[in-house]
Chains A and B, each alone.
Chain A
Amino acid sequence: MTDYADYPTGDPVADTKAPAGPVHERWDTRRFEARLVNPANRRKHTVIVVGTGLAGGSAGATLAEQGYHVVQFCYQDSPRRAHSIAAQGGINAAKNYRNDGDSVHRLFYDTVKGGDFRARESNVHRLAQISVEIIDQCVAQGVPFAREYGGLLDTRSFGGVQVSRTFYARGQTGQQLLLGAYQALSRQIAAGNVEMHARTEMLDLIVIDGRARGIVARDLVTGKIDTYVADAVVLASGGYGNVFYLSTNAMNSNATAIWRAHRRGAYFGNPCFTQIHPTCIPRTGDHQSKLTLMSESLRNDGRIWVPKAKGDDRSPERIPEDERDYYLERIYPSFGNLVPRDIASRAAKNVCDEGRGVGPGGQGVYLDFADAITRLGRKAVEAKYGNLFDMYQRITDEDPYEVPMRIYPAVHYTMGGLWVDYDLQTTVPGLFAIGEANFSDHGANRLGASALMQGLADGYFVLPATVNDYLARNPHQEAVTGEHPAVQEVLAETEDRLNLLLAVDGDRTPDSFHRELGELMWELCGMARSAAGLRKALERIPRIREEFWRRIKVPGTGQEFNQSLEKANRVVDYLELAELMCLDALHRTESCGGHFREESQTPDGEAARRDEEFSYAAAWEFTGTGEAPVLHKEDLVFEHVHPTQRSYA
């Protein structure tokens, strides 16, 4: 076996779908060049969509509206529960309703810059263009966005930008947008255009003659594993933040769909790009099962500080003003508390590492609303953030109107994901990845309120056009049934894997392995990464994996509702994906966005990007479990936004 870190570099990979020409005309050009499927023929095509979040829900609904036969899956008991529902803050759109100098180009610019120049210009520009249509679409669906007294839509500002372009629905924007997509999907389910399989989890991808032709999925209620064939497969299964065990992801969010697709030939893009969100509620002990995010919008009015002195354990109200360090305002005077997430997170880690952290274990910083309450009045603060304050109080038993909140960074979003071209198609023809499941639009760091924008842009507008093109170019695929040998083979492999999990009958629970892996990843592949640490992780992960297959204990059988089996099977994939994340982090010896390499920083401790060597997206090709993957580089060309060292000072 070769050393995992000894990866070979293969041929470069290129996005062949984005047309040339001015960036603002590319999407129009692509849409015009895309072939169309005759509406009468669409119902003959089946498209599988995995996941019902913002991306999957909107894609399923839109494909069905266009006339395709959609077969859709979610592991939750209802498509309405996908984790997009937990997004709080808002959704960006270049509407310029405030007349504050916003434009499509500015949103494009902010997103490329915010992503630390590791995203593809053509994709990001398209995202900015579509953003305005998303708001129209959602309003038409009855999404109750916040409005002003005149009846027009309200907006607020968000981290990393200086215009007010974030549309919101109190602290539940994700919920409202998701319910809009869910309702559109429900309409199509009722119309018979979408065949919905809830409580059904994708376990593998079926590839026939080099094309994605279906999936293997398990009915979580009966335990029955079935095959589903189609003409195209769309993965909208979200991100892989749960590799870290503790994250703001939902408990059951998992990487199985994308990891299994990766194993079947889809390249994995920038796996090490993870976003650590600065404003989460600190953990309270070992029992912690997940972390809860407090919307970044809190940074609009809250001021972040720690005591100036190390080990100052006075209660916050007893620390006088001149002994407080409002470190973000001090270091970044022009953006202050509204610097991008990666910068805010790292700054919090730095002050805590200096021994100035607050709360249990010194793992926290204050987010103080005292000034805002004095300035705006308690009522106004309540109107803006009431539900977030309530949530904080419920979890911590502290009243944020009286005592400053304590926050600490936590894993929140994964910018990496399956590598896709401009059409959102992976390296497996017929396999598409949308939303957080792909790697495309956020580069090395995602700006606040951009995930909702991307998920809906992909699902409502981009994917339906590009799937159309794919199916029009491949109208007559071989008819495949469940009896096809390739289908049966994948089915048998899946059954074997689950049976093996049940057969080990060891002495450790799936959660104990997950927690062990997560702690390792947080320590060595978290907010700050070093060559030594990553090498250590690459050594330890295979050992955990080996121990897993020796000692895992899964009670019950495969032919029933078995949550331990579901969990164990997800951990199998985390244990492989974690290794790839560490390798990607190790190979990228620069710091950029959410990826901070200790070896690559400026004299004053800021991330130092190295464009000459690393202005590319890393697309990894799977070669075998524990085997060194092959690196394919996609060069990033910046014609419109010239890479500069990001400055928020």
Chain B
Amino acid sequence: MKLTLRVWRQKNADTEGTMSTYEVDDISPDMSFLEMLDVLNEQLILAGEEPVAFDHDCREGICGACSLVINGDAHGPERTTTCQLHMRSFRDGDTIDVEPWRAAAFPVIKDLVVDRSAFDRIIQAGGYVTAPTGSAPEAHATPVPKADADFAFEHAECIGCGACVAACPNGAAMLFTSAKVNHLNVLPQGAPERETRVLDMVAQMDAEGFGGCTLAGECATACPKGIPLVSITGMNREWLRANRKAGKR
């Protein structure tokens, strides 16, 4: 396959960026999108140009590092991560636009690499169960109904890639935050911190400069792990409940 790529190039956080055009040839449909970018980068290095910087690591769809907006879609046209997107999803001769995640809370570091440390700070605000090592009771002491365990798991699948923020017209992090809130709040182990968790995480989410939710649903459409939009509803419910309880105390 022969392709034309229009790629966002930006030297660093302090400079302006622009879309640059490149041609790549001999692309196999079995290549992953990132392998196609590897080919481009090898070309660029040998031509004495700077290769395109992009985040990637596991290349099997689980670490959440890769983060490209391809033709306007976070992670491209398939519902998967960029590393698991294959060139068979494109046609010979296509022009493909490659851009970084766009959000005020995710500033560009270089080219297609953005800073997602805001997500870490949201987790630090309350996305955990306080269970210091050694303090744990026997695992079978508290049975967890299978339905609750499955519900928790579905939300715990979030890989923290940030596609939800990238796709959201408001740059909101509601889906990311709600996934963790739902995961931990449904479990008996997470119950003691149920209220503080949601209040603190939402407060941190707001403090990071993410936008608000207009329930456009783009986040859930872009999510490679299928975290559902209703996850946000669940967080809203938890947040209102926590406020009510806080009011009573």
Q: A146 in the interface, Cβ–Cβ < 8 Å?
A: yes
* A487 CB–B CB distance under 8 Å: no
Residues of B within 8 A of A511 (CB): 38, 42
Which of the residues A182, A284, A507 comes within 8 Å of B46, measured between beta carbons? A507
Picked from B35, B53, B59, B125, the residue with its CB within 8 Å of the CB of A561 is B53
Known: A183-B129, A187-B130. A152 touches B140 (CB 8 A): yes
B136 x A139 contact (CB < 8 A): yes
Are B46 and A509 within 8 A (Cβ)? yes
Given A144-B183, A555-B50, A564-B51, A83-B57 contact (CB < 8 Å): yes
Are B62 and A85 in contact, CB atoms less than 8 angstroms apart?
yes
The reply to whether B61 and A509 form a contact with Cβ atoms under 8 Å apart is no
Contact status of A86 and B120, CB under 8 A, knowing A139-B139, A186-B128:
no
The answer to whether B124 touches A553 (Cβ under 8 A) is no
Q: Smallest CB–CB gap between B196 and chain A, Å?
A: 12
A86:B139 contact, CB within 8 angstroms: no
Which stretch of B143-151, B167-175, B207-215, B238-246 is in the interface?
A: B143-151
Q: Assess A78 versus B139: contact at CB under 8 Å? Given A142-B189, A397-B86.
A: no
A184 touching B128 by the CB < 8 A rule? yes
A 98-142 to B, binary, CB cutoff 8 A, 1 in contact else 0? 000000000000000000000000000000000001011101111
The reply on A642 being an interface residue by CB < 8 A is no
Report which residue of B42, B132, B142 has the largest number of chain A beta carbons within 10 angstroms of its beta carbon: B132
A190 and B124 in contact (CB under 8 A), knowing A137-B133, A137-B136?
yes
Which residues from 38 to 58 on chain B have a C-beta closer than 8 Å to any C-beta of chain A? 38-39, 42, 44-46, 48-51, 53, 55-58
Contact of A149 among B50, B60, B123, B146 (CB under 8 A): B146
- Closest Cβ of chain A to B130, distance in Å, is 7
Whether B57 and A76, one on each chain, are in contact in the complex, defined by CB atoms closer than 8 angstroms, is yes
**Are A150 and B143 touching (Cβ within 8 A)?**
yes
Closest to A62 in B: B133
The reply to whether B133 and A464 form a contact with Cβ atoms under 8 Å apart is yes
Determine if B123 and A141 form an interchain contact, defined as CB atoms under 8 angstroms apart: no
Q: Which of B30, B78, B109 contacts A284 (CB 8 A)?
A: B30
Partner-contacting stretch, out of A228-236, A286-294, A299-307, A595-603 = A286-294
Tell me whether A461 and B133 are in contact (CB under 8 A). yes
Do the beta carbons of A395 and B86 come within 8 Å of each other?
yes
Q: Mark A57-101, 1 if CB is under 8 A from B, else 0.
A: 010011001000000000011111111011000000001010000
A561 touches B113 (CB 8 A): yes
B61 touches A153 (CB 8 A): no
Q: Choose, from B68-76, B152-160, B229-237, the stretch at the interface.
A: B152-160
Contact of B124 among A58, A133, A186 (CB under 8 A): A186
Q: Check B84–A395 contact: CB distance below 8 A.
A: yes
Of A81, A151, A287, A460, the residue contacting B64 (CB under 8 A) is A81
B12 within 8 A of A: yes
Task: Verify if A623 is at the interface (C-beta below 8 Å from B).
Answer: no
CB distance from A54 to the nearest CB of B (A): 13
Those of A236-265 within 8 Å (CB) of chain B: 248, 250-253
Query: Which residues on A sit within 8 Å (CB–CB) of B140?
Result: 97, 152-153
Chain B residues with Cβ below 8 Å from A252 are: 57
Interchain CB contact under 8 A, B65 and A77: yes
Q: Are A147 and B50 in contact (CB under 8 A)?
A: no
CB contacts (< 8 Å) of B55 on chain A: these are 77
Shortest CB distance A578–B (Å): 22
User: Given known contacts A292-B60, A461-B133, is B187 in contact with A142 (CB within 8 Å)?
Assistant: yes
Residues of B within 8 Å of A148, CB to CB, are 146
Q: How many angstroms between the C-alpha atoms of A190 and B197 in the bound complex?
A: 13
The 8 listed contacts between A and B (C-beta, < 8 Å) are A81-B58, A81-B64, A137-B131, A170-B153, A251-B58, A287-B31, A511-B42, A553-B46
In the A-B complex, list the 7 residue pairs whose CB atoms are closest, starting with the nearest.
Answer: A151-B143, A183-B128, A140-B136, A190-B124, A140-B131, A144-B153, A136-B136
Q: Which residues of B contact A (CB under 8 A)?
A: 11-12, 28, 30-32, 34-35, 38-39, 42, 44-46, 48-51, 53, 55-65, 78, 80, 84, 86, 88, 109-110, 113, 115-117, 119-120, 123-125, 127-140, 142-146, 149-150, 152-153, 156-157, 159-160, 183-184, 187, 189-190
